[in-house]
Every structure is written in structure tokens, then in C-alpha cells.
Amino acid sequence: MSFASAIAPEALPFLTAVVALFVPLAAAVYLLTTVTWTLGQRLVLRRLYPPQQAS
């Protein structure tokens, strides 16, 4: 029996726990980055292209 096949069944529950910890963290970082970028982009574009007055 190889080392990997002996250790894998014992390590899989811990791997699941590690994934369960990092997936929400990655989602939060993605959401924070996207919102920050969008707000910054809107501020820059609003200064470069101010809203036109309706005639």
C-alpha cells in the first residue's frame, strides 16, 4: 500500500474543512473588489462625462 493511498482517507475530511473555510473568503474578496472597482469607475466616469441637462 502506498503512502498516498494510506493517508488520503484520513486527510479528506480536513481538505473539505479547508475548502469550506476558503471558498466564502474568496467570494467575499471577489465581491469587495468588484464593488470597489465599480464605484471607482462610476466616480471617474461621472467626472469625465457629467450628466447632460434635459432640454
Residue 40 lies in a domain: yes
Residue 53 lies in a domain: no
Provide the domain limits for residue 29.
Answer: 22-48
Nearest partner of 46 among 35, 38, 54, judged by Cα: 38
Q: How far is CA 2 from CA 8, 10, 12, 13, in A?
A: 10, 14, 16, 19
- pLDDT for position 40: 98
**How many domains, in total, are found in the chain?**
1
Answer yes or no: is pLDDT of 1 > 70. Answer: no
Mean pLDDT of 32-54: 95
Answer yes or no: is pLDDT of 52 > 90. Answer: no
Residue 41 lies in a domain: yes
Interval 3-33: pLDDT, tens = 777 887 888 888 888 889 889 999 999 999 9
- pLDDT for position 16: 86
Residue where the block lists cell 482517507: 9
Residues 6+ apart with CB under 8 A from 7: none
Residue 10 lies in a domain: no
Answer yes or no: is pLDDT of 55 > 80. Answer: no
